[in-house]
Chain A
Amino acid sequence: MKKIFLIVFMSAILSFSAYAGADGENTLSKEGGKPVKDCFEKVNRGIFAFNQALDGAIFEPVAKGYRKFPVPIRRGTSNVLSNLSNLVTIPNNLLQGEIKQAGQNTIRFVVNTTLGILGIFDPASGLGFASLEKEDYGQTFGAWGIGEGCYLVLPVLGPSTVRDTFGMIGSTIGGGDPWYNVTVKNDTHYFTDFDYYGSRATAGIDFRAKNIESFESLEQNSLDFYASVRSLYLQDRQQKIVNSKKVVDTMDDGDWEEIESN
């Protein structure tokens, strides 16, 4: 029973990582390209409502509590989780042909895990190896030219697409995440399932805590919150796949050109 609760809880966190993914995940129809279809919108909206209720009952209150910890503790926690995420980012750097980034992330992981005491501190940045964008298998599939498929909202896990869901499955069950492999998949005697799910749950709470006001504001000011989240998630994923934060690289200006004023 405890394990089931743990899995549900962690999944929720995972979904929120994605949610926030966007570091705010969003749904964005690809302007100028083929729009991402919301093939199961009715079901998706139902799951979205369920996730919202779960967030209100569990995640938001926990995130608010987490914010009461002193800044150094939260920063250290965030650093540890970010360091762990290199284990997924590095293989995906390689799969996308980003050799230089893979090297830099590997150095960061080694330096921060040792000198930085399991990633609590970030001495690598001080040595000139700055933090890079995270990569995952969904992004790699996108970089390889595989389309998103339909938009999905996963229970607890939040916004996704068919492609990103396959990426997530590849990361866990498929053995693409070394951290998952040494904690859940294989019995190494050094780690337990709790270490993995605990880290994922904490990542979700950390993300949620950083975005409490943003979510509140978005929800309060949206006429259709579901559609806003979908748009943001898709925009975010599209941008991460092209590895650019420059809007001019990811937006089609066609529609703006038609709007005349002054």
Chain B
Amino acid sequence: MNFKKYLIKFSLILILFSIFVGKSFSLEPEKFVQSVVDEASAVLTKNFTKEQKIEKLRSIAKKSVDIEGIGFYTLGSHRKNLSASQKEEYSKLFESYFLKSFASRLSEYTDPKINVTGSKKLNEKYTIISSVLVATDKRPEVKIDWRIYTKNPDEPLIRDLIIEGLSLARTQKEEFNSIIQSNDGDINVLFANLKEFINK
């Protein structure tokens, strides 16, 4: 009998906890970006090895970046020609490529301070968050805008970083397009390039 009561109590607590956690993810885009950068900054500031930093940054990226969405955006019109199996293969390859490239770029930074300075809601699906990477003796202040996908307001996701007005997603898209176009539209060449990068 006692056990049954415990079970009911435990289930209630679990339900309440999940509701609370669910609510807590209902973040304003500004707060979401600030929390992501603070989390990443804490990782970069602490005395971890480079490998540990990369691993922690990858896990932050997995939960806060719409990697699959960015992957299909970067394919441009070529995504319409993919078969279901090619889409699946591409998603996997792009995620590995993205996480490797993203983490290795970020892990070089130490103690980056990013302050959110404003936001502009484009429509129900997108909000642009403005921020600045505070200047140090080695580099000037850098303006960073974040394209946040807010279709599900409870789970905002990063879709693009615009550094001093230069879009990373767009640059990536034009790079991929160049590879596909210069190989007579053969998407498999892009896949081969991605695999080579992932394995190097």
Complex: A230 Cα to B190 Cα, angstroms: 18
Cα A71 to Cα B157 in complex, Å, equals 39
Instruction: Write the nearest CB–CB distance from A39 to chain B, whole angstroms.
Output: 14
Give Cα A213–Cα B106 distance, bound, in whole angstroms.
11
For chain A, the count of residues having a C-beta within 8 Å of the partner chain is: 42
**Which B109-157 residues sit within 8 Å CB-CB of chain A?**
120, 122, 125-126, 128, 137, 139-140, 143, 145, 147, 149, 151-152, 155, 157
How far, in whole Å, are A255 and B126 apart by their CA atoms in the complex?
13
Partner of A232, one of B66, B126, B128, B166: B166
Chain A residues 1 to 60 lying within 8 A of chain B, measured CB to CB, are 22-24, 26-29, 31, 41
Those of A219-245 within 8 Å (CB) of chain B:
220-224, 226-228, 230-232, 235-236, 239, 244-245
For chain B, the count of residues having a C-beta within 8 Å of the partner chain is 46
- In whole angstroms, what is the CA distance A180 to B162 when docked? 35
- Nearest chain-A residue to B67 (Cβ)? A261
Write out, one digit per residue, whether chain A residues 149-170 have a CB within 8 A of any chain B CB (1) or not (0): 0000000000000000000000
Is the CB of B170 closer than 8 A to any CB of chain A? yes
On whether the beta carbons of A210 and B139 are closer than 8 Å, the reply is: yes
Q: Are B165 and A230 in contact (CB under 8 A)?
A: no
B167 lies within 8 A of chain A by Cβ: yes
Partner of B167, one of A23, A210, A235, A259: A235
Given contacts A217-B105, A248-B120, A255-B73, contact A262 B170 (CB under 8 A): no
Contact B73 A22 (CB under 8 A): no
Query: Which of A41, A220, A261 meets B68, CB within 8 Å?
Result: A261
Query: Which residue of chain B is the closest to A239 with respect to CB atoms?
Result: B165
Q: Are B175 and A247 in contact (CB under 8 A)?
A: no
A256 contacts B73, CB within 8 Å? yes
CB distance from A82 to the nearest CB of B (A): 12
* Contact for B174 among A28, A217, A248, A257, CB less than 8 A: A28
Is there an interface contact between A223 and B151, defined as CB atoms closer than 8 Å? no
Q: Which residues of B contact A28 (CB under 8 A)?
A: 166, 170-171, 174
> Do A27 and B174 have beta carbons less than 8 Å apart?
yes
Residue B37 interfacial (CB < 8 Å): no
Of the candidates B69, B165, B179, the one whose C-beta lies within 8 Å of that of A236 is B165
B175/A222 in contact, CB under 8 A: yes
Are the C-beta atoms of A227 and B179 separated by less than 8 Å?
yes
Q: A235-B165, A244-B165 are in contact. Are A257 and B125 (CB under 8 A)?
A: yes
For A238, the closest partner residue in chain B by CB is: B165
What is the CB-to-nearest-CB distance from B147 to chain A, in angstroms, rounded to a whole number?
7
Closest Cβ of chain A: how far from B39's Cβ, in Å? 21
Which residues of the other chain, A, contact B173 by a CB distance below 8 angstroms? 255
Interface positions, chain B 48-87, Cβ under 8 Å from A, are: 66, 68-69, 72-73, 76
A24 to B140, CA, bound (A): 13
- In chain B, positions 92-113 with a C-beta closer than 8 Å to chain A are 101, 104-105, 108
Interface centre among B126, B143, B164, B176 (most CB of A within 10 A): B164
A107 to B9, CA, bound (A): 74
B105 lies within 8 A of A230 (CB): no
A31 to B167 Cα, complex, angstroms: 12
CA A28 to CA B164, docked complex, whole Å: 14
**B149 contacts A29, CB within 8 Å?**
no
Cα(A114)–Cα(B122), bound, Å: 46
Structural contact, B72 and A259, CB atoms closer than 8 A? yes
By a CB distance below 8 angstroms, the chain A residues around B140 are 210
A251 at the interface (CB under 8 A from B): yes
**Known A71-B137, A227-B179, A257-B125; contact A250-B157, beta-carbon cutoff 8 A:** no
Please state if A245 and B164 are interface contacts (CB–CB under 8 Å). yes
Q: Return chain B residues, CB-CB under 8 Å to A260.
A: 69, 151
How far does the Cβ of B148 sit from chain A's closest Cβ, in whole Å?
12
CA distance A228 to B74 in the complex (A): 13
Interface 0/1 of B160-193, CB less than 8 Å to A: 0010111100110111111100100000001001
Can you show 7 pairs from A to B with CB atoms below 8 A apart?
A217-B104, A221-B104, A223-B175, A227-B179, A231-B170, A255-B76, A262-B151
